[in-house]
Amino acid sequence: MSRIYTIKNKLEESRLFLNRIIAAFVVMLLLTSGLIVRLVYLQIVGHEHYATLAKDNSIKIEPLVPTRGIIYDRHGKVLADNTQSFSLELIPEQIKDLDDTLQRLQKLLNISDEKIDQYQKQRKRQKRFVSTPLLISMTDEEIAKFAVVRPYFPGVDIQTRLVRHYPYAELASHVVGYVARINETEMKSLPVAEYRGSTHVGKIGIESTYETELHGKTGYAEIETNVQARAINTVNSVPPVPGENLYLTLDIDLQKTAYDTLGDYNGAIVAIEVKTGGVLVFASRPGFDPNPFVIGIANDAYQALQSSENQPLYNRALRGLYPPGSTAKPFVALAGLEYNAISPEHKIFCPGYYQLPNVSHHYRDWKKGGHGSVNMSEAITQSCDVYFYSLASTLGIDRMHSFLQHFGFGEKSGIDLVGEKQGLLPSREWKRNQRNQSWYPGETLITGIGQGFLQVTPIQLARATATLANKGKVVSPFLVRHTPDPDATAPVIENLELNPENINTITAAMVNVIHDAHGTAKSIGKNISYQIAGKTGTAQVFNIKQDAKYNENDIDFKLRDHALFISFAPADDPKIAVAVVVENGGHGGSVAAPMAGQVIKQYLEGNNEN
């Protein structure tokens, strides 16, 4: 078998190798040129742009949450402050088995499943290296238990935080309100920049109405971080502006007196400075402790508050709607004088009932045998229903509606709290629009004694009383003075320009309610050096049939009449006006009037700084 030999061409091989070298050199030259061009662009042309991006990548903006403003009463007593609290916090990144750690902590400190769930939801919204609280406001016992086993819980530690605190608990819960964690709905409406880092927001009361002032201005810090986004150094910072401290017109000692006098009754007491409009007392009973809402109230505790038949979460002073009963009579009487529909001396015979012409129905007086022949002063003093049935019939619903509206009936008082109800002042137009019905003469009669469709709130009734005491000058009730000056006043909204003689006539009759032997509240007029002008009221909770007899001992407590009382003092130079509503209290003279008497006595005779 023959072999075939290939003769190598060295010249050709040399040329091929040289071409490859040249090609590789050209490629390397092009790549090097591209790299140089890119470096020139990065270092010179695009330096400013990429330097900014690099800085943004290494500098993080952290919000600095402002300290919430403190709320004081008129004498400087703290109603809401910020207290140092100890919280148990976990850093998930430093914990190998988070579930196991939570189980051991739960067993050690008896932590509820609800709080564990809350922690899990909260930590998932944050980075793993951020310290997240599991327990807030730890007790001394909890702190001691954890301190013993602390070495066995890496990544778990006790930190200090500022927590909102309400030292008077339920006493001022409805007026001061409370803060709680921001929910998803609120987060969408709150300013993002101002609430970065904030966890709580005012929910009700002053805390809600003045949220912007109390919250303050959020600051920020420029934090240098590493590639894992951990803080290394603070480059720059703008400190937060603390929230504004608020000074209320409320007198917490007077508030306590009012709250305590209600005792076991549900109801409300509101007291207003006549000349300024400042609210001295704004008590709604029962109240509730707002402190658990700050740290996160347990679900069963919240459900207990909501389901309670006494409705402790309901602000009766602001939102409670009640028939004013006979407390409306002074205003109806004044309407009669102002419209010249009746004179003070004119007498009306009261046989114990009133009848409309050609109508058999008897509109009964509270006194079965009647009051006999009474003039205006006697009718107010003895609270004669028949007199006011007759006067209401003479005035008519149109004039009564127009006059009572000037005193704020059927309108919001304008107090600086969110959620006020406006009550109901009925009229022909209202009934036609709301019920598609005509107005009947009998409805005019019962409106004249504060019953029927007429409904007022305690703050509304207090404002009307203050207007009467102020001789027709209307001031808007307010709680926040915006200044430590206790003499700060609210502007007069309107001057009703009432006849002074008519005002004096009504005031004199209201003085007789307390200081006359026949007065329905004569028990509170003893052993005082000044005169109180007032009017008792009893409002029916349900209608009684024509021939039925009302006996409060034979009916369920919740169906008993409400007891009301309005007053101002001293009668000759009014300084304070008070409205009391006692649910199912029965009698204004024996139940509601003494409560107002205690408030007035403490304000005028006590150690209050006026």
Hey, which residues are catalytic here?
Answer: 326
Quickly count: other Cβ atoms within 10 Å of residue 486's Cβ. 17
CA distance 348 to 387: 6
CA dihedral 321, 327, 329, 334 (to 10 degrees): -100
CA 307 to CA 136: how far, in whole Å? 26
Whole-angstrom distance, CA of residue 305 vs CA of residue 204: 16
Q: Is the dihedral of CA 135, 139, 145, 147 positive or negative?
A: positive
Residue 462: count other Cβ atoms within 10 Å of its Cβ.
32
3-state secondary structure 348-410: EEECCEECCCCCCCCEECCCCCCCEEECHHHHHHHCCHHHHHHHHHHHCHHHHHHHHHHCCCC
User: In the structure encoding, which two tokens stand for residue 496, read together?
Assistant: 């009703």
- Taking the C-alpha atoms of residue 428 and residue 410, their distance in angstroms, rounded to an integer, is 14
- Residue whose pair of structure tokens reads 């508050």 in the numeric block: 305
- The C-alpha angle with vertex 172 and arms to 138 and 217, in degrees rounded to 5, equals 70
φ, ψ of residue 478 to 5 degrees: the values are -145, 160
CA distances from residue 347 to 375, 376, 384, 400, 517 in whole angstroms, order as listed:
4, 7, 12, 20, 20
* Cα angle value 431/434/438 (rounded, 5°): 30
Measuring CA to CA, how many Å separate 198 from each of 181, 238, 295, 426? 9, 16, 14, 46
Element (H, E) at 89: strand 78-90
Rounded to whole angstroms, how far apart are CA atoms 495 and 464?
13
For residue 581, give the 3-state DSSP assignment.
strand
Between 252-262 and 593-605, two packed helices, what is the crossing angle to 10 degrees?
Answer: 160
- How far apart, in Å, are the Cα atoms of 265 and each of 323, 455, 595? 18, 20, 11
User: Residue 454: exposed, middle, or buried by beta-carbon count in 10 A (0-12, 13-18, 19+)?
Assistant: buried
Residue with tokens 């102020």: 470
Listing DSSP states for 28-51 in one string gives: HHHHHHHHHHHHHIIIIITHHHHH
